[in-house]
Amino acid sequence: MLRRRTLIAAATGALAAPAIARAQAQAARSYILATATIGGTYYPVGVALATLTKIRLQASRGIDMSAISSAGSGENIRLMREGQAQFAILQGLFGVYARDGSGPIQADGPQRNIRAICALWANVEHFTIRARFVQTGTIDDILNLRGRRFSMSARNSGTEFSNRFIFANLGIDPDRTFELVFQGFGPSAEAMLAGQIDGFNPGAGVPVAAITQLFARGGNEFRILEFTDEQLKKADGGTGLFTRFVIPGGTYPNLAQPINTIAQPNFLAVNANVPADDVYEITKAIFENLPFLNGIHAATREISLQNALKGIVNPVHPGAARYYAEKGVAIPEAIRPV
């Protein structure tokens, strides 16, 4: 009888094991985080976020994440819309495009699935022109380049879209005002040094290598234009995307004084249909393991609860909102969960 009971128990255990394994497999969630090209900042930061998720949440919560390279924000919105990615790093301006169904995704209409988790690091505007064209030291001086060559960065890049967005809000048509050039940050800095162009704006995280290169070699020949509060408001166009950013003095060679400019966030986005519990756990893991992220990539040093929603224009995901409520972080009414 004992042997029979033992066999029955063993058989029951053998039958139960696959059932338990199936239940565990069903409980596990694997997510895709879309980033950008491997050579930029989006991809390594995405890898850092995915690695953190694996380490902290895969075994304990069944939440896994993998980072993939992509063409950047525009493609990431498509990947999220089509369900090929559940998370993405997006430029703040593309958050506006997604919210409004404007810009390069106008034909696709508003992207009702896009939700925000947090701001990551800031894309800081560095409108730089030759010093001889500077009168006020502010963005108004950009009009002193009328008819001259200005680099918009690479065609169809996030920087080109940002430049066009800011110019339009300032009442400037760049196609009619300047002779436009389309080249990346490094080549634009070289063109400035060679006298081939008179201005460019490498919007990116501070410090920007192209600006460092330019001022190290060009000394006092160039100036980064500032924005007054009124100009900031005008450039933002009422979106709430652009905020004040002060570049500390000494950040760049031969620039001892702070520079009052503007910035938009790069932010972590998520599909609205990702469970709130999972987004809560991922949000918590990010903010409670910042030293881990900081050790992987310097850009993550800008992530903080204080600036978590700075420049965010898309509704916050309920899972992230739950974490912010626990930490006493107020969510602006315009981006509260819907």
DSSP 31-89: EEEE---TTSSHHHHHHHHHHHHIIIIIHHH-EEEEEE--S-HHHHHHHHHTTS-SEEE
Residue 252, strand partner residues: 255
Looking only at the bridges linking them, the beta strands covering 149-151 and 114-124 are: unpaired
Which pLDDT belongs to residue 5? Answer: 42
Cβ burial of 299 (10 Å; 0-12, 13-18, 19+) is buried
**pLDDT of res. 1:** 43
For the stretch 87-97, pLDDT in tens is 999 999 999 99
Q: Give the pLDDT means over successive 10-residue stretches in the chain (338 positions).
A: 39 40 61 89 94 97 97 93 97 96 95 97 96 98 98 89 96 98 94 97 90 92 98 96 95 96 97 98 98 92 96 97 98 95
Q: Are 238 and 96 in contact (CB under 8 A)?
A: no
Say what the pLDDT of residue 77 is: 96
CA–CA separation, 109 vs 103, rounded Å? Answer: 10
* Contact present, 120 and 302 (Cβ < 8 Å): yes
- Its CATH class, for the domain covering 29-121+266-335, is alpha beta
* Gyration radius of the chain over CA positions: 24
d(CA 16, CA 21): 9
**Own/partner long-range contacts of 80-86 (Cβ < 8 Å, ≥24 apart):** 80/34, 80/111, 80/113, 80/114, 80/269, 80/271, 81/108, 81/111, 81/113, 83/271, 84/32, 84/34, 85/32, 85/33, 85/34, 86/31, 86/32, 86/33, 86/270, 86/271, 86/274
Predicted pLDDT at 21: 39
| pLDDT value at residue 97 | 96
Of 262, 194, 254, nearest in space to 227 by CA? 262
Q: Which DSSP state fits 170?
A: T
Task: Identify any residues that bridge with 226 across adjacent strands, giving them in sequence order.
Answer: 138
DSSP 331: P
> What local confidence, expressed as pLDDT, does residue 123 receive?
92
Q: Is pTM beyond 0.75 here?
A: yes
Residues of the chain with CATH 3.40.190.10: 29-121+266-335, 126-226
Strand 63-68 relative to strand 259-271, pairing: unpaired
Q: What is the pLDDT of residue 154?
A: 87
What confidence tens digit (pLDDT) does each residue in 208-234 have? 989 999 999 987 899 999 999 999 999
For 255: left if phi > 0, alpha if psi spans -120 to 50, otherwise beta; the answer is beta
CATH architecture of 126-226: 3-Layer(aba) Sandwich (3.40)
